[in-house]
Structure 1
Amino acid sequence: MINSRDLLATLVGFDTTSRESNLQLIEFVRDYLAGFDVPCELVYNDERSKANLFATIGPAQLPGIVLSGHTDVVPVDGQPWSVAPFELSERDGKLYGRGTADMKGYIACVLALVPALVKATLKRPVHIALSYDEEVGCLGVRSLLKALEQRPVKPMLCIIGEPTELKPVLGHKGKLAMRCDIHGQACHSAYAPLGVNAIEYAAELIGELGRIGQRLKDPEHHDARFDPPFSTVQTGVITGGNALNIVPADCRFDFEIRALPAHDPSEVAQALQSYAEQHVLPRMRAVSEQSDIRFSELSAYPGLATDARSEAAELIAAFSGSREFGTVAFGTEGGLFDAAGIPTVVCGPGSMEQGHKPDEFVSLAQLHGCDAMLQRLLLSISG
């Protein structure tokens, strides 16, 4: 008998860290579905080293329900695991391995439902959507959604199975990740005023970014549904300089904005760029005309804010057995599905408290709970 635990063991065995290919996992799922006469479509990246998968079970001409998950996982490098990260281990009712919570546990439950879906007389189709490179900016799902836009019938609901302890989530923040490159002029540190110190000007910009972040904390910008209840800004990476006795000519820093759904994160980037152009760059160019400040986008995805009174909310309440709708601090592909006109909710087994950590796990109780939720979904759309 096919069960979610055994499928999870297989899925964890594929090292699908974002820097690696996910094709072994995708090809396993393709062959697994083919065993039930379920065809699927693969949407590859340009290098054909990774792929999204989309499959439909049931009457494709009707609006259906998408069960969506990402196949990539975060690295285990430098983490003190007590078990092999790419082998499923069980201890005290917990299943350990990279991706068990985020989010191969959900994918395993979806695949375990396939035999029942195939046997049932479905009033609506169920679509299985698997993506790549979610962990590095929700990159892969964009080409999948572009392909779906060409179809005459849009799904009525997408359930993103990120770990929420099976509590229905209707909202999360969006994200914009940016890079700032500062180019100044090098010289001997004994003659520092003759140079343009890129690190010091970067520090000035980072300071202004912090002041922008402080303004976002004003109560007028709050949304009490989120924790923290305001948009946040932070600088995560900075590099620059070659030696202490050389005024550094170059510096680079990366920053991100985690924005409430109602807040456009590009406003922060634009405010910082305006500050750079009006207050910083003129002073740099007064010393060296070749000085420059450049901003570039690294990644972005929109927030999610599904209406609690919507049909999507009613459906997930029925499937999950809870009307206690929540929000999460982390981002998902849900905002992109929603922006494509597919109402979206987030609900899956496990907790993000375990995600991205050494000895990541999902409990057997959560896995079985997800199986039960998907069975309720099946009953609701079966003739």
Structure 2
Amino acid sequence: MLDKTIDILGDLIAFPTVSAVSNLAMIDYLAQRLEDCGAKVHLMHDPGGTKANMFATLGPEENGGILLSGHSDVVPVTDQHWSSDPFRMTRRGNRLYGRGSCDMKGFIAAAVAMAPTFAQARKSRPLHFAFTYDEEVGCIGAGHLVRSLGALGIKPSVAIIGEPTQMRIIEGHKGCYEYTTRFQGLEGHGSAPDLGVNAVEYAARYVSFLLDLKDQLRSMSPPESPFDPPWTTVNVGAMSGGTVHNVIASKAQVDWEMRPISKTDADFVKLHLDGYCRDVLLPSMKAAFPGASIETEVVGEVDGLVPVLENEARRIVAALTGSNKVGVVPFGTEAGIFQNIGMDVVVCGPGSIEQAHKADEFIEVDQLEKCLAMLSKLAESSGGKTC
């Protein structure tokens, strides 16, 4: 089974599924392998028809099944210095190198390698596979997937998200809210600043206010917060605008994000920013140029995974792995999207997040072995007391 998993992983790495391009070849490959095991497969294409989610089911067609979930897309390799071809798996000792090896094609390979075993063993409870698109750019595919499942009337009750956790059970993480805010001012000569509206200056004031909110969020951290850092964070990732030193900048852009520990914190930031733009920045801009504007594009608003007292997914994975230790992580996943539709969710998968998104990304073979051990016990349980 390990050799089979490694072979499939090599195939998956060879699909260069960066978010900017289509994932259809990889999805078709996965769909075919699962159909060959007797799974009922649904493909859910994006509006442009260039990407798709895949949802497949083994076992009875009824509610309450267990979902194994992963994303098909990977981050770019542009400007990274790799020791080998990032889209050709290379083995060096115990490590398998390639883009997506740990994030998160290793888990997908293990789940698909186990599919024939699941097909033979699973009888009393459905087992589902969900492989999504565009997780790396805002979990767009997962949002599409849950809407599609609602339309199909399919309601899994448990989800295991196979992001790289070194097979630790993760029951919570922060949300990830990403935005692009654009400023439209009025161009003019730098010697007459009062005759124009400098978009860069207003963008700078916006960022300064955002950083003030960032400081306030530190004091709002609940004492029981399990996260590191324990408060909601804000990051200004990029700022651009203007052309040359002696021209009033007519356009500016700020790319920023926050990682809320609660929806309340996210609402706090958005409410205060909206008020500052409406009551302070825009009146000043429009006094000089009625056509001035501030517009914020929501790149993605992905809620976090909230630890809960009763969690069937946690109980199942603890029984499968033999570990009762659970934790939280700072990085985001699609888990909150599934939790929001009523599913019990944990994150547990092979590999280390420390290797993700870097040059020479790798997964260790023994991590795949541990993942296969967990999935083998899932097959052995066959819908019994454990599952």
TM-score w.r.t. the length of structure 1 is 0.96
8 Å contact 1:53–1:130 — kept in the other structure? yes
- The whole-number CA distance in structure 1 between the counterparts of 2:7 and 2:109 is 8
Partner residue in 1 for 2:376: 375
The answer to whether the 8 Å contact 2:165/2:347 transfers is yes
**In 2: Cα distance, 1:277 partner to 1:207 partner:** 16
Alignment of 1:4-19 (within 5 A): 4-19=5-20
**What's 2:76 paired with?**
75
Whether contact under 8 Å (1:307, 1:313) holds in the other structure is no
Q: Distance in 1 between matches of 2:43 and 2:316?
A: 28
Counterpart residue number, 1:306? 307
SS, match of residue 273 in structure 1: helix
Mapped pair 1:110 → 2:88: no
Alpha-carbon separation, structure 2, partners of 1:328 and 1:260: 11
Instruction: Tell me if structure 2 keeps the 8 A contact 1:170–1:308.
Output: no
My pick for the range that moved more, 83-92 or 257-266, is 257-266
Letter in 2 for 1:123: S
Tell me the residue number matched to 1:195. 196
The aligned residue for residue 183 of structure 1 is 184
Amino acid at match of 2:109: A
Residue 250 of structure 2 corresponds to which residue in structure 1?
249
Matched, 1:318 2:319: yes
Q: Does 50-59 or 212-221 show the bigger shift?
A: 212-221
**In structure 1, the residue corresponding to 2:15 is in which secondary structure?**
coil
Secondary structure of the equivalent of 1:207?
helix
Q: Distance in 2 between matches of 1:85 and 1:115?
A: 29
Which residue is 2:276 aligned to?
275
Q: Paired residue for 1:295?
A: 296
Cα distance, 1:153–1:140 mapped onto 2, change above 3 Å:
closer
The answer to which of 309-318 and 4-13 deviates more is: 309-318
1:3 is matched with: 4
Q: TM-score, normalised by structure 2?
A: 0.95
Aligned residues: 383
Code of the aligned partner of 1:254? D
Partner AA of 2:354 in structure 1:
E
For residue 123 of structure 1, report the CA deviation from its aligned partner: 2.2
2:66 aligns with: 65
Distance across 1 between alignment mates of 2:183 and 2:4: 54
**Equivalence for 1:364:** 365
The offset of 1:38, in angstroms, is: 2.3
Look up the equivalent residue of 1:73 and give its one-letter code: V
| Structure 1 pair 308–108 and aligned structure 2 pair: CA distance change class (3 A) | farther
How far did residue 222 of structure 1 move?
5.1
1:277 Cα deviation from its structure 2 partner = 1.8
Where does the alignment leave 5 or more consecutive residues of structure 2 unmatched?
Answer: none
Look up the match of 2:164.
163
Give secondary structure in 2 for the equivalent of 1:305: coil
Give the drift of 1:134.
Answer: 0.6
Q: Is the 8 A contact 1:178 1:256 kept in 2?
A: yes
In the alignment, the residues of structure 2 paired with residue 121 and residue 233 of structure 1 have an alpha-carbon distance, to the nearest angstrom, of 45
Q: State how far apart, in whole Å, the 1-side matches of 2:231 and 2:121 are.
A: 45
* C-alpha deviation, 1:225, in angstroms: 1.0
Deviations 1:94-128 (Å, cap 9, x if unpaired)?
Answer: 11000001000000000111111122142211101
Task: Check whether the contact 1:137–1:301 (CA below 8 A) recurs between aligned residues.
Answer: yes
- Distance across 2 between alignment mates of 1:143 and 1:279: 37
Structure 1 distance, partners of 2:256, 2:23, is 28
Shift of 1:262: 5.0
Q: Is the 8 A contact 2:186 2:292 kept in 1?
A: yes
Q: Deviations over 1:119-158 (max 9, x none)?
A: 2142211101111111110001222211211345521210
Report SS of the residue matched to 1:298.
Answer: strand
Q: Secondary structure at the match of 1:263?
A: helix
> Quick one: percent identity of the two aligned structures?
40
CA distance in 1 between counterparts of 2:43 and 2:322 reads 33
- RMSD over aligned Cα, in angstroms? 1.7
Secondary structure at the aligned position of 1:190 is classed as coil
Q: Could you list the runs of 5+ residues in structure 1 that have no partner in the other structure? A: none
Shift of 1:325: 0.9
CA distance in 1, matches of 2:78, 2:345: 33
Equivalent residue letter for 2:287: A
Aligned AA (1:90): R
1:219, distance to aligned residue in structure 2 (A): 5.5
